[in-house]
Amino acid sequence: MNKSEQEYVVYWQKVVGNESLRIDLKKLKDTVHNVFRNESDNYKQKLVYNLLETVKNHDQSRFFYILLKTINKPKEENFKELWDMLKGSYDVMPREAFINFAYSIIIGIMATYGGKENE
């Protein structure tokens, strides 16, 4: 749609090693959208509320705790996609990067309200 969509942003330097970590926020959002599509709205609204609280307080560990607990469903194939994504990018992030990362996930979840997308 516009130029910013193709942008990959270099967010932070990995703690170990000197490889720059890149994260594709759009892909992250889309993945989240896919995996949460079939969950119930009430559950997701509550989850979003909890996640928002942790981001507000810049509480990265709590954020990941809630998130990982939520997606810890080995039986559901869908979540594997998100696991794979997080594997590549999970690390202690600088504040700015964390905000972008967290809200991309949250808005991805929010996009799935109502079961199917409202065009």
List residues binding other proteins (CB under 8 A): 1-5, 7, 9, 25-26, 29, 41, 45, 48-49, 52, 55-56, 58, 96, 99-100, 103-104, 106-107, 110-114, 117-119
**In the complex, least distance from residue 102 CB atom to other proteins, rounded to whole angstroms:** 9
Nearer to other proteins, 5 or 19 (CB): 5
Among residues 11, 35, 33, which one has the least CA distance to residue 21? 11
Cβ proximity to other proteins, 68 vs 99, nearer residue: 99
CA 97 to chain centre: 12
CA dist 94 and 76 (Å) reads 31
Closer by beta carbon to other proteins, 8 or else 65: 8
Contact partners, residue 35, CB within 8 Å, separation at least 6:
71, 78, 79, 81, 82
